[in-house]
Structure 1
Amino acid sequence: MLNRLTSSFDRKVSISSPSSSSPSQLTALDPKDQNTLTSLGIPLCSHAQACIDCSLPCEDDDDPPEYLNKSLLRLWSKQEIDLTPSPLLSIAHPTPFRSHALISTDGKKDWVREVSEEIGSLAEMFEKFSGEDEKKLDGGGESSMTTTKTEGNLPKGVWSTTQESSPTRVLYQNSSHYSSSCQTTNEEGKPNHTLLLFPSFQLLTNVPAPSGGNEDVLRAIWDHFLRAGGGVEEDEIAKMRRKELVERQGVKRWVLPYRAVVLLCSHKKRDARCSIAASLLSSALRSHAEQAGWTVDERGDDHDSHSTTSTWGSLSSSPSKDEGWEWRKMASEGKTPDHHGEDGEEGGGTLGIFQISHIGGHKYSGNVIIYFPTGAGVWYGRVSPVRDVKAVFEKTIQQGIIIPEFLRAGINLVRESPATASSQAAAAAEEDPSSSITNGSGGKATSTTTTLVSGTRDELLQKGKTQDGDGVGVPRRTLVQW
């Protein structure tokens, strides 16, 4: 199967490396970055190992899967994708952010070239707020909104949103998801928006479209939910007024009912590569998810049903630390209104797939962003719709294991203190130095921190159990474990 990792329908490669480099080669992490991540118990599985572990071999080169559109495959084969032999985490990571907000556009998958320049749009208003915040924080000089002391000397491109030193920047895009808001509360009669918020894994309803008299309401929503806990200090009177504006607007919050959410850049007016890749990737993800017994949601507008299902996922109007973790844990186990797992068992669960506006790095298509109810998230690049989606679904979406060759960014990958993780890893290695990590299907690895892991989520969890039930092995937690 390893001989079938490339496809005649796969990438036309743009490589700045010597001609002797293999066009199909994907570059691994920098060894120092890999050591750092694995020493903190962040599970990695190489692309080659993911292919070996894959439950379904790749399709033959000349016989791509039927669920992939042949016309789009021909277009995809003509695109140039940058496969410069440098780790994506080193050259393609985004500017760190605190919150990632997606604006509903009711099924649109392409937008004007600069969404923030569309007159009267919510993206335009958010761009204004972002600029105002930046000026307040640094006096108009070099931005301090994105500075963050990396926890445990994490690599650039990997950061936490829960520390005092976390970035305060808000990232926002337009999204294909439909609004589930039931009100129209602006002067021009435009329907209210629904926002998806990550990594908090929330949905925000009844966010009005901009109109002449509601900028203060939108600013309150921005400060209260998107920038919550970060940035400019405010007095208590300002906070109370902000809360009153939000409650008067009728903004409601819910935990998203998904086991994972996948975001695909589809912004054709910025770059055709993303549009072609997004369509193919969404088809492939849907096929693999449904084969695994999952439901796929590409609309995102079925959240009004929460009010008739014991308010599943409902949150208060005021953000708080670790709020809604019970709902998020249920979502990660597939125990949502539509998927009721039996006691001790997981439901099938739902995968949300939405297409979004430009995120940068289109030359590294296909770009895939995955967020989890645990608060973790990964940004991937160079994901081939033909050969890579099965591995991404099984390893990362189902099992919560990172494929490092694709990694552009990681958010909240460490969900405990580095000292705790390191001491636990050392304790596990001292107890059994030969079996602290697996290195393939059933194979054992030495206790070196450069070892990559494989195995199912349940196998990984079992390897980290002690008598008191707390995980102490390496990996400490996958992205889907609590």
Structure 2
Amino acid sequence: MAVSDQLESHCVPVSKDACRYCPDPCDEGHDEYPARFDIDTTSDMFGSVKPYHRQCVISTGKKDWVKEVTEEKGSLAERISNINSSLAPKVHPNNSKGDPSLPDGLFVPENSTRLAILNGSYNSVDDNGRQTVLVFPDYKFVLAENSVQDAHDLWLGHLGPDIGIAGQGRLEAYTIPYSAVILICSHKKRDNRCHVAAPKLEHSLRTALEHEGWEVHSQIDDHDGHGEPLNTTEGSQEQKDQLALERLKSLAGRDPKRALIIYNSHVGGHKFAGNLCIYTPTGSGVWYGRVTPHNVASIVKNTLVKGEVLPELLRGGINLSRKDGGSLLSW
């Protein structure tokens, strides 16, 4: 069955648009990958993303990292990985809410207990030595020191599979104040192709988004007025989760729209470079592969503006099914 048919059968909003608008060869001045940029253009790409229940991206201020970020001694990534290895259950506590009928490539958090741990290029928003950890699909960031204690509390309060979107415990959590977060793999020490592709994709994304009237940031705006932490406000856990949901919904009314673009460490699938993921406040995460600057205008128009998936580029995604196939941007 064609990828588009599989997606539509599971109520994923699918774009019928072309994934490339410019002619081939291009006459619009788009950036080009070098002639020796060899990738896999024949293997099935859909289904190449390992399911996860959450993904975290840790602030480092770098665009390249050691080959295995979770094995870097003394790093927050290593500490979180160690805690996760000892505490993560084998079966998701809410596994019964998962959807076993989903094809490989489509998943919901309840389908997995895997925690994906990445490093990111952005700097921390905190001036007191704490690192900033983005958490998806919750679409929030948490402030944590690089210590065993904070890694433990981070996992228990925000990363474990049985935690609500607001989180709990003492570590402060805030809604990510953007209409979309775009992750681009740039991990040179894992594969040079992603390192080559990342800046070209960022440049093309920035150009296309600004053409649509969006602001584009590479650092989290620390002057945004994030409000009280989601998890330390008064009320029951249910009330805190409701507050988190209301803040996420409020992002839809912001004008101008704003996107946060971050370089990230290895996510797998380097043979499908360029790799990027688009997260939305509604909890969707769209993983694209074989992306070139020629595809970016279509990605911006169809996925970021309209909330539709381009099947030809899709590696997989989390929370992509929508009632009646409605937009990924709709609640």
Question: How high is the TM-score relative to the length of structure 2?
Answer: 0.88
The percentage of counterpart residues that share the same residue type is 33
In the aligned structure 1, how far is the partner of 2:149 from the partner of 2:251? 34
The match for 1:480 is 329
The match for 1:317 is 232
Matched, 1:282 2:202: yes
In the aligned structure 2, how far is the partner of 1:413 from the partner of 1:323? 23
In the aligned structure 2, how far is the partner of 1:36 from the partner of 1:60? 28
User: Is this contact kept in 2: 1:36–1:154, CA < 8 A?
Assistant: no
User: Is this contact kept in 1: 2:84–2:155, CA < 8 A?
Assistant: no
User: Is this contact kept in 2: 1:59–1:65, CA < 8 A?
Assistant: no
In the aligned structure 2, how far is the partner of 1:314 from the partner of 1:369? 26
In the aligned structure 2, how far is the partner of 1:120 from the partner of 1:173? 15
Offset at residue 38 of structure 1 (A)? 1.3
Query: 3-state DSSP class of the match of 2:195?
Result: helix
Offset at residue 378 of structure 1 (A)? 0.8
Query: 3-state DSSP class of the match of 2:281?
Result: coil
Offset at residue 304 of structure 1 (A)? 4.9
5 Å matches for 1:341-352? 347-352=255-260
The match for 1:198 is 136
Matched, 1:181 2:126: yes
User: Is this contact kept in 1: 2:94–2:162, CA < 8 A?
Assistant: no
Structure 2 letter corresponding to 1:349: K
The match for 1:16 is none
Offset at residue 36 of structure 1 (A)? 4.3
User: Is this contact kept in 2: 1:146–1:169, CA < 8 A?
Assistant: no
In the aligned structure 2, how far is the partner of 1:299 from the partner of 1:83? 33
Offset at residue 59 of structure 1 (A)? 6.1
Alpha-carbon deviations, 1:192-247, whole Å to 9, x = none? 10011111110112x0012xxxx2332022111011516xxxxxxxxxxx96xx42
5 Å matches for 1:94-109? 94=50, 96-106=51-61, 108-109=62-63
Q: 1:93 aligns with which of 49, 54, 60?
A: 49
In the aligned structure 2, how far is the partner of 1:361 from the partner of 1:148? 27
Matched, 1:414 2:325: no
Offset at residue 179 of structure 1 (A)? 0.3
The 3 A distance-change label for structure 1 pair 148 and 383 is farther
Offset at residue 40 of structure 1 (A)? 3.7
Q: 2:247 aligns with which of 321, 327, 330?
A: 327
Offset at residue 303 of structure 1 (A)? 2.8
Structure 2 letter corresponding to 1:180: V
The match for 2:158 is 225
The match for 2:15 is 45
Matched, 1:155 2:103: yes
Query: 3-state DSSP class of the match of 1:331?
Result: helix
Query: 3-state DSSP class of the match of 1:414?
Result: coil
The 3 A distance-change label for structure 1 pair 174 and 378 is same
- Please list every run of 5 or more consecutive structure 2 residues that lacks an aligned counterpart in the other structure: none
User: Is this contact kept in 2: 1:147–1:167, CA < 8 A?
Assistant: no
In the aligned structure 2, how far is the partner of 1:129 from the partner of 1:105? 20
User: Is this contact kept in 1: 2:33–2:196, CA < 8 A?
Assistant: no
5 Å matches for 1:66-81? 68=31, 73=32, 75=34, 77-81=35-39
The match for 1:82 is 40
In the aligned structure 1, how far is the partner of 2:219 from the partner of 2:117? 19
- Please list every run of 5 or more consecutive structure 1 residues that lacks an aligned counterpart in the other structure: 1-29, 52-56, 139-143, 184-190, 231-241, 336-346, 416-420, 422-473
Q: 1:65 aligns with which of 17, 29, 37?
A: 29
Supply the RMSD in Å over aligned alpha carbons.
Answer: 2.6
Structure 2 letter corresponding to 1:155: P
Query: 3-state DSSP class of the match of 1:41?
Result: coil
Query: 3-state DSSP class of the match of 1:395?
Result: helix
Structure 2 letter corresponding to 1:39: S
The match for 2:222 is 303
The match for 1:401 is 308
Query: 3-state DSSP class of the match of 2:198?
Result: helix
Question: How high is the TM-score relative to the length of structure 1?
Answer: 0.62
Query: 3-state DSSP class of the match of 1:390?
Result: helix
- Larger-gyration structure (1/2): 1
Alpha-carbon deviations, 1:75-120, whole Å to 9, x = none? 3x3111101152x113x222x11111010012x1001111112111
User: Is this contact kept in 2: 1:160–1:166, CA < 8 A?
Assistant: yes
The match for 2:80 is 126
Query: 3-state DSSP class of the match of 2:327?
Result: coil
5 Å matches for 1:253-272? 253-272=173-192
In the aligned structure 2, how far is the partner of 1:171 from the partner of 1:223? 15
User: Is this contact kept in 2: 1:262–1:371, CA < 8 A?
Assistant: yes
Offset at residue 61 of structure 1 (A)? 2.7
The 3 A distance-change label for structure 1 pair 209 and 396 is same
The 3 A distance-change label for structure 1 pair 356 and 378 is same
